[in-house]
Structure 1
């Protein structure tokens, strides 16, 4: 299983990122597909997502809610990936998969995400109100928001939780684009020109590294915007009784 972290945010090392919140390793896909009817897998995916959501909505036990929220932490991502990761984004299991991966990503990258939020939302707007994030959040605020969005999906209005997730990812995408623009602008500023072949090579490498980092940040921002659209479409379908 590739880390769910890789689905959203560029790491300090600048590694590339997939377009989905996470992807199954081909070996897992081969194992899962061994003799199992894809239609049966789809049925299990939808049934398990609906059953889990329904059970938590009808419980008053906070311990049950906490166990469901921390399912990935305690049981590992495979427990939901095997059923939900291939589900379409306009389906209940597909949306719940994205909600779990959003929480995991936020928890693991809370400090970096807090900085991106402050960059993308320097002044509180409607996005701040919808997402439920302070104007200048710190890492702890991001962690609390991650839990709040997912718990709200199970204990509150599911569509509202999806709206919050969509607003949150929009702001982080804006932060990533602004960060990319700053890197591009810095690369255009005149810099000391070292003499000699090694100096020229170093300048070219620095420019190339900056261009690569900028491209990856923009790519990640685009992926986040796609995920945001998935959340908003899911909210729309849920309100119409068509998210299954």
Structure 2
């Protein structure tokens, strides 16, 4: 897959959905688990700020496909699967910070849950704020409470999904302009809901010391 991209990778339309929509393989790669465990254990044991910064910004230099090669095929409910999904969410936000902030902001207006508080983004949250939030969440995986970081990522995804669903309703009312837009927004919302569910499951497993 890496040969298909130039680094750093930008997502062509539909790639985010393609990554999340793929089936997990029946047999997990031992390399994925070993690398995820080794990186996380080493950095959390000695969270050197420079090392953490390099890990947070690793895909900015090397591309998301370099992470995908290691972890994208791991089970959704596994340590490499959790790391992959947080990196993927960050990549989505950084590629389209304006669209991500609009979806999140609309979600805060239509959602009646505590997810926006759990996510930790300011309200209103513009493009700069959602980019910063994505980095803070990834930092939290390496230096903070791992389960809390996963819950924050899940909450952001749920709020954004609610926002995209609402935006899809608006687009449906104006579908004469772009008939494909409501379906596109709805599919993105469903993928984010799936992502949120997977991250929340990983957080529960981590708290039970069962995420490997």
State the TM-score, normalized to the length of structure 1: 0.75
Structure 2 residue 144 is matched with structure 1 residue 145 = no
User: What CA distance in whole angstroms lies between the structure 2 residues aligned with 1:118 and 1:77?
Assistant: 26
Match of 1:201 in 2: none
User: What CA distance in whole angstroms lies between the structure 1 residues aligned with 2:16 and 2:38?
Assistant: 32
Structure 2 residue 89 is matched with structure 1 residue 90 = no
Deviation string 1:51-101 (CA, Å, 9 cap, x unpaired) is: 001111012421010011111112222332222111010111111111111
Q: Residues 51-62 of structure 1: matches in 2 within 5 Å?
A: 51-62=38-49
Question: Offset at 1:115?
Answer: 1.2
Shift in alpha-carbon separation, 1:235–1:139, aligned structure 2, 3 A: same
Once superposed, what is the RMSD of the aligned Cα atoms?
A: 2.4
Match of 1:223 in 2: 191
Match of 1:108 in 2: 95
Unmatched 5+ stretches in structure 2: none
Q: How many residues align?
A: 202
Query: Contact 2:10–2:95 at 8 Å: present in 1 too?
Result: no
Shift in alpha-carbon separation, 1:222–1:19, aligned structure 2, 3 A: farther
Shift in alpha-carbon separation, 1:96–1:4, aligned structure 2, 3 A: farther
Q: Please state whether the residue corresponding to 1:241 is helix, strand or coil.
A: coil
Query: Contact 1:19–1:223 at 8 Å: present in 2 too?
Result: no
Q: Residues 1-244 of structure 1: matches in 2 within 5 Å?
A: 1=1, 5=11, 18-21=17-20, 42-122=29-109, 126-187=114-175, 206=176, 209-210=178-179, 212-244=180-212
User: What CA distance in whole angstroms lies between the structure 2 residues aligned with 1:105 and 1:22?
Assistant: 15
Query: Contact 1:4–1:22 at 8 Å: present in 2 too?
Result: no
Query: Contact 1:122–1:136 at 8 Å: present in 2 too?
Result: no
Q: Please state whether the residue corresponding to 1:214 is helix, strand or coil.
A: helix
State the TM-score, normalized to the length of structure 2: 0.86
Q: Please state whether the residue corresponding to 2:206 is helix, strand or coil.
A: helix
Unmatched 5+ stretches in structure 1: 24-37, 188-205
Max radius of gyration: which structure? 1
User: What CA distance in whole angstroms lies between the structure 1 residues aligned with 2:136 and 2:15?
Assistant: 29
Query: Contact 1:132–1:164 at 8 Å: present in 2 too?
Result: yes
Deviation string 1:100-136 (CA, Å, 9 cap, x unpaired) is: 1111111111111111111111289521210001110
Q: Please state whether the residue corresponding to 1:122 is helix, strand or coil.
A: helix
Question: Offset at 1:220?
Answer: 1.1
